[in-house]
Amino acid sequence: MDAKTQAKYEARARVVKAMAHPTRLFIVDELSRRDERCVCELTEMIGADISTVSKHLSLLKAAGIVEDSKRGNMVFYRLAVPCVAQFFNCIESVLRGNAGQSRRALT
């Protein structure tokens, strides 16, 4: 694999990695449903330390998956790229496959 190809997959991996965490998937899912949420709302739903949630959000932002905007002293996050929501359908297919069900029907 030459350097260019390598770089291509590394770039992609950075995006996938950014979502490879239960809390971050939850955030993406939530934002795909509600358009916008402030850190405090997400923190309450998630039930972790606010600093932890904030770090997850920074990570998603660095990957280009979410965008933020500050209004007053609150920061609102939203999806930057709507299609990430589609990921879930496919992930569920994989999970159904794991459970040994209708793998064929998912094409």
Query: Residues in the site for a second copy, rule: CB under 8 A?
Result: 1, 5-6, 9-13, 15-17, 19-26, 29, 45-47, 63-65, 80-84, 86-95, 97-98, 103, 106-107
Question: Residue 95 binds which one of DNA, a second copy, none, with CB within 5 to 8 A depending on kind?
Answer: a second copy
Residue 65 three-state SS: coil
Q: How far is the CB of 79 from DNA (least distance, A)?
A: 16
Return the bridge partners of 75, or none: 70
CA angle, residues 94, 98, 99, in degrees to nearest 5? 120
**Cβ atoms of residues 62 and 19 within 8 Å:** no
* Window 68-97: residues binding DNA (CB under 7 A): 68, 70, 72-76
Our CB check for a second copy shows the closer of 73 and 98 to be: 98
Give the pair of three-digit tokens for residue 40: 């405090």
Taking the C-alpha atoms of residue 59 and residue 46, their distance in angstroms, rounded to an integer, is 16
**43: partner contacted, choices DNA, a second copy, none (Cβ within 5-8 A by kind):** DNA
Which of 46/75 has CB closer to a second copy?
A: 46
Q: Letter for the amino acid at 67?
A: E
